[in-house]
């Protein structure tokens, strides 16, 4: 016979079992889930490299690269008035030993200029064994995290071997892994014992709920008589004792640590790098996204004010790279590095020094779909953006930001 | 004809029943307080209490006592008015600390691998002991609200200085002066908690120069007085037995 209780319990058990079996560890940071226009027209990262991808606990690694604050910043996204260069990792697998933006220490938050380029360097020290997808990351106040390219990094070894020793300005060398912990625990235990004694003093005065409730209701306005002079004396001792310990501990801490400073919160402004375009100007003429072919096709008017012929070798946007192998080569650094090694083609030949000409560029790859960039055409603000890299014959690079409205081609 | 029959026939039996009632109700109440007060604390002062580099001398000193006096005040009303028991504040804060330590050890250290010294909760028991003691001595919720709640706000920073002082020792790091607390916050990467998100003192209170802490502590005490009375009212509302009568 159908038993609704049993059926519900069984369904719940099946559901819990399925969830438990299906739940897989989170291996990424949702980088594909951000809206395409957000990834293409905010912060454009390039030249991101890590010094190593396999290291032991206590080994150091360096992440370097550049980022460009896109000139056509979406109006609904807060501008980088306050931003912090960060690293996207699941918890402190590494500690951040140092970070620099254009050579300036990045310990504080920073203001950035739209339309400018900066370079960064982050030095990390491995803390615990893990295999993680590590990202460069920029937190922008009121805009959230703007995520950069990721790399799979594997740390081996034992976290117990990790130390983080520093020397203070008062000359003391301490390990930040455990510094101050024993003292904090000691004080929490001390006050915890006093609190427990106080609670037990009352609880062990016999049954306290029903008899006291009845007495309070019976005595009505004289209910305070339940409190005995001995109780009040205990209260007085508790008050004086607590105040004495607090006062003593305060002055004791002052004598132990006579030199202390408040938390530091200043912000800095860092000058941008020189213009990476190096005399190459680009105007967007027309851009279309060919849905069946998964291809961005744009026509640009290029003016070459350098002394050498130039050709486009790479287009990058939203951490995806489309390469023109005739001009510039790159391969994926790992399984999750979106590089379309043959993704870019163009028509129009080299642009000679002093010449202005039209180039027709096509960036084609399944990454438009797999990285959810094709969804741009369904966004309320369906304009795209990216960086186009030109190279001269000696390999000198000009980096030009371009963008504009994007028209879909469905047939 | 009706008659009330009872299984309790002796005073000894009655005593046993009362004790059993205590042993059933008190653990349940403690667990409820741990859970409810912990949720309340995380929602109102969360990051200030989570991280060592949020424990500043202005905002942390102001926000924490104000946010944490709610449950002690409500419990004071319920426990004092109905039972003349003066341990509501200690019960609330000790319960909160049990929840916080469990959370820090299991979640922050066990799951996310932050060092425990980075996430030690604030010490709040001394404030609660004073609040309870003043209630016991004065036998007056009004006096407790005025004197005790003011003291509650004022002694928060001195009671915690012994724990946080070591973290305010200065260090030179990559050409910048930082406190050790700042450095811990910088070293141990928090992807979702960038440096700027800290709501901490910036540029002192200007007119008061460097005397930020006493001003903040008195302000916290002052607001705590108001909050105490507000939450006495909420405690009164929570202590209503309207529904119990129906049951």
- Is the pLDDT confidence value at B1 over 60? no
**How many whole angstroms separate alpha carbon A126 and alpha carbon A55?**
7
Question: B118-167 pLDDT, tens per residue?
Answer: 999 999 999 999 999 999 999 999 999 999 999 999 999 999 999 999 99
Q: Is B184 on the interface with A (CB under 8 A)?
A: yes
Measure the CA dihedral A109/A113/A118/A120, to 10°: 10
What pLDDT was estimated at residue A32? 77
What pLDDT was estimated at residue B52? 96
- Per-position DSSP letters for A213-236, written without gaps between them: HHHHHHHGGGGGGGS-HHHHHHHH
Q: Is B83 on the interface with A (CB under 8 A)?
A: yes
Q: Is B142 on the interface with A (CB under 8 A)?
A: no
Whether residues A184 and B114 touch (CB distance < 8 A) is answered with no
- Is the pLDDT confidence value at B106 over 70? yes
Distance from CA of A183 to the nearest CA of B (A): 7
Q: Which CATH number is A31-168 given?
A: 2.60.120.570
Count H helices and E strands in chain B, helices first: 11, 2
Whether residues A83 and B158 touch (CB distance < 8 A) is answered with no
**How many whole angstroms separate alpha carbon B152 and alpha carbon B218?**
10
Q: What is the CATH class of B11-240?
A: mainly alpha
Check whether domain A280-409 has CATH 1.20.140.10, yes or no: no
What pLDDT was estimated at residue A253? 97
Q: Is A244 on the interface with B (CB under 8 A)?
A: no
Per-residue pLDDT of chain A (411 residues; tens, 9 = 90+): 668 888 888 999 998 888 777 766 655 566 778 888 989 999 999 999 999 999 999 999 999 999 999 999 999 999 999 999 999 998 899 999 999 999 999 998 999 999 999 999 999 999 999 999 999 999 999 999 999 999 999 999 999 999 999 999 999 999 999 999 999 999 999 999 999 999 999 999 889 999 999 999 999 899 999 999 999 999 999 999 999 999 999 999 999 999 999 999 888 888 899 888 889 999 999 999 999 999 999 999 999 999 999 999 999 999 999 999 999 999 988 888 899 999 999 999 999 999 999 999 999 999 999 999 988 888 888 899 999 999 999 999 999 999 999 999 998
Question: What DSSP element (H or E) covers A63?
Answer: strand A60-69
**Contact between A339 and A315 (Cβ < 8 Å):** no
Q: Is B85 on the interface with A (CB under 8 A)?
A: yes
What pLDDT was estimated at residue A252? 97
B26, B91, B182 ranked by CB distance to A264: nearest: B182
- Is the pLDDT confidence value at B225 over 80? yes
Question: What DSSP element (H or E) covers A304?
Answer: strand A295-304
Question: B178-214 pLDDT, tens per residue?
Answer: 999 999 999 999 988 888 888 888 876 666 666 789 9
**Contact between A358 and A371 (Cβ < 8 Å):** no
Distance from CA of B3 to the nearest CA of A (A): 23
Whether residues A239 and B137 touch (CB distance < 8 A) is answered with yes
Whether residues B93 and A177 touch (CB distance < 8 A) is answered with no
Q: Name chain B contacts of A264, Cβ cutoff 8 Å.
A: 176-179, 182
Distance from CA of B234 to the nearest CA of A (A): 20
What pLDDT was estimated at residue A17? 85
What pLDDT was estimated at residue A335? 84
What pLDDT was estimated at residue A352? 95
What is the pLDDT confidence band of residue B4, given thresholds at 50, 70 and 90?
A: low
What pLDDT was estimated at residue B247? 52
Average pLDDT, chain B: 92
**How many whole angstroms separate alpha carbon A9 and alpha carbon A17?**
12
Question: B160-171 pLDDT, tens per residue?
Answer: 999 999 999 999
Distance from CA of B46 to the nearest CA of A (A): 18
Angle between helix A229-256 and B156-164 (nearest 10): 40
């Amino acid at each position: 016979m159908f038993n609704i209780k049993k059926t519900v319990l069984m369904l719940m058990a099946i559901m819990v079992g399925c969830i438990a079996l299906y739940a897989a560890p989170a291996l990424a940071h949702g980088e594909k889930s951000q809206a395409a226009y957000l990834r293409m027209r905010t912060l454009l990262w390039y030249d991101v490299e890590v010094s190593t991808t396999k290291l032991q606990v206590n080994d150091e690694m360096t992440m370097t690269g550049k980022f460009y604050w896109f000139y056509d910043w979406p109006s609904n996204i807060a501008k980088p008035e306050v931003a912090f260069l960060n690293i996207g990792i699941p918890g402190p697998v590494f500690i951040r030993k140092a970070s620099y933006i254009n050579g300036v220490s990045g310990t504080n938050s920073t203001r950035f200029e739209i339309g400018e380029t900066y370079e960064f360097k982050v030095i990390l020290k491995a803390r615990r064994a893990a295999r993680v997808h590590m990202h460069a990351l920029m937190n922008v106040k009121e805009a959230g995290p703007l995520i950069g390219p990721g790399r799979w990094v594997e740390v081996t070894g034992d976290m117990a071997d990790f130390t983080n020793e520093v020397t203070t300005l008062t000359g003391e060398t301490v390990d930040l892994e455990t510094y101050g912990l024993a003292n904090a625990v000691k004080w929490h235990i001390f006050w915890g014992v006093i609190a427990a004694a106080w609670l037990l003093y009352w609880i062990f005065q016999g049954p306290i709920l029903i008899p006291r409730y009845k007495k309070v209701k019976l005595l009505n306005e004289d209910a305070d008589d339940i409190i005995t002079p001995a109780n009040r004396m205990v209260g007085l001792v508790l008050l004086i004792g607590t105040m004495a310990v607090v006062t003593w501990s305060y002055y004791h801490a002052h004598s132990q640590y006579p030199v202390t400073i408040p938390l530091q919160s200043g912000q800095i402004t860092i000058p941008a790098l020189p213009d990476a375009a190096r005399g190459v100007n680009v105007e967007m003429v027309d851009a279309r996204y060919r849905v069946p072919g998964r291809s961005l096709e744009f026509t640009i008017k290029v003016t070459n004010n350098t002394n050498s012929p130039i050709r486009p070798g790479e287009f990058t946007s939203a951490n995806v790279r489309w390469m023109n192998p005739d001009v510039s080569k790159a391969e994926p650094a790992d399984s999750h590095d979106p590089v379309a090694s043959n993704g870019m083609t163009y028509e129009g030949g080299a642009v000679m020094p002093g010449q202005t000409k039209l180039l027709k560029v096509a960036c084609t790859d399944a990454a438009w779909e797999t990285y959810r960039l094709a969804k741009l055409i369904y966004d309320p603000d369906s304009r795209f953006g990216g960086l186009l890299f030109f190279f001269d014959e000696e390999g000198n690079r000009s980096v030009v930001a371009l963008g504009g409205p994007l028209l879909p081609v469905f047939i | 004809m009706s008659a009330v029959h009872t299984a309790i026939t002796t005073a000894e039996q009655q005593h046993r029943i009362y004790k059993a009632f205590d042993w059933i109700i008190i653990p349940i109440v403690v667990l409820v307080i741990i859970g409810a007060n912990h949720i309340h604390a995380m929602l109102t002062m969360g990051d200030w209490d989570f991280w060592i580099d949020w424990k500043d001398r202005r905002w942390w000193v102001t926000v924490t006592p104000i946010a944490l006096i709610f449950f002690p005040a409500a419990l004071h009303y319920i426990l004092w008015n109905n039972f003349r028991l003066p341990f509501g504040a200690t019960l609330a804060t000790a319960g909160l600390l049990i929840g916080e330590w469990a959370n820090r050890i299991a979640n922050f250290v066990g799951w996310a691998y932050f060092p425990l010294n980075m996430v030690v909760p604030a010490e709040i028991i001394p404030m609660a002991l004073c609040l309870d003691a003043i209630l016991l001595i004065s036998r007056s919720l009004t006096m407790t609200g005025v004197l005790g709640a003011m003291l509650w706000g004022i002694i928060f920073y001195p009671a915690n200085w012994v724990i946080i002082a070591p973290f305010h020792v200065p260090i030179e790091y990559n050409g910048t002066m930082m406190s050790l607390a700042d450095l811990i916050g910088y070293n141990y990467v928090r992807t979702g908690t960038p440096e700027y998100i800290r709501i901490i003192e910036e540029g002192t209170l200007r007119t008061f120069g460097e005397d930020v802490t006493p001003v903040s502590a008195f302000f916290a005490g002052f607001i705590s007085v108001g909050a105490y009375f507000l939450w006495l009212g909420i405690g009164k509302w929570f202590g209503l037995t309207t529904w119990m009568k129906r049951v």
